[in-house]
A = this chain, B = another copy of it.
């Protein structure tokens, strides 16, 4: 049997393979501009959306991606499942696997748990976010958004700002951006950094004003209140003082720089309401909606890689 093609993180892919994903995404992004946005690439394939943690955009983004490739996608809602009957998660997954489905998209609240689940089934697995660990499809859509804007990646300056500690997006983005030759600075006070953060070879500062005028990409992280066991950051006032994006700060950014956020934005925390309410034309450097649009094309490329 051919080895199954899991996408649990992007670590195992070379820079060439990452560029191949970006090119493949380009071709699917073209399809999404057509009137009929559907191709028969994965007709007859069955995909399960297995979300042990609630989600809006990622789950629907995968569902749209799957249907545009003509795959059959089945949402497996855990709350309405047999888990109430005391069935273990691994038995749930083995049950799904026994139904001979082709791929399972899994989100789980425990860091690293998706790796464990993937080892125990025959179907391919795509990690749609596991705890504070990895979120590879988000990292690739972020990279694609940057790539489409600048046409190059090598040498770009990126600041990733905010709640690094609780963010799987930060972890996956830092690794991928660094691999592709970008210079990554992390902006966070020590209380929003993991203890073993020296593992990542990036610059660290605790004040957005120290880097904002130099960066090409300002990546604002969502404050993950729901993943914080206790309140790590003293106050919103302090957050706004050192970490938030507002119009005043945006005015010192380079003219061709862009702003990104994985969404949903906590308005007036990571990004001011004033910026969020700007007209579409004024905020064309704010790439939040572009990231979402690109997410569908990126996920089509990854589904096609795993099953095509």
Interface residues of A (CB under 8 A from B): 32, 35-38, 43-46, 48, 54-57, 60-61, 63-64, 67-68, 72, 74, 76-77, 79-88, 91-92, 94-101, 225-226, 263-267, 289-290, 292-293, 295-296
Contacts and interface: CB of A to CB of B under 8 A. Distances in A.
Contacts of A96: 60
Contact of A95 (B35, B290, B292): B292
Given A64-B46, A94-B289, A99-B61, A80 B77 contact: yes
Given A37-B44, A91-B264, A95-B292, A82 B54 contact: yes
Nearest to A87: B264
A101 B292 CA distance: 12
Number of copies: 3
Contacts of A79: 80
15 contacts: A36-B44, A37-B44, A38-B43, A55-B82, A57-B95, A60-B76, A60-B96, A67-B74, A68-B72, A86-B264, A91-B265, A92-B264, A98-B289, A99-B292, A99-B293
Contacts of A293: 98-100
A295 B98 CA distance: 10
A94 B64 CA distance: 15
Contact of A84 (B54, B72, B81, B100): B54
Given A64-B101, A99-B292, 6 more contacts: A36-B43, A61-B99, A64-B72, A85-B264, A94-B289, A95-B264
Contacts of A267: 88
B99 A64 contact: yes
A44 B68 CA distance: 7
A78 to B, nearest CB: 9
A289 to B, nearest CB: 4
Contacts of A67: 46, 72, 74
B57 A82 contact: yes
A106 to B, nearest CB: 15
A76 B91 CA distance: 25
A296 to B, nearest CB: 5
Nearest to A269: B86
Nearest to A122: B280
Contact of A54 (B45, B55, B81, B99): B81
A99 B44 contact: no
A266 B86 contact: yes
Nearest to A35: B44
Given A32-B100, A60-B76, A72-B67, A263 B95 contact: yes
A32 B102 CA distance: 11
A99 to B, nearest CB: 5
A116 to B, nearest CB: 14
A301 B292 CA distance: 31
Most-contacted residue by chain B among A43, A97, A226, A292 (CB, 10 A):
A292
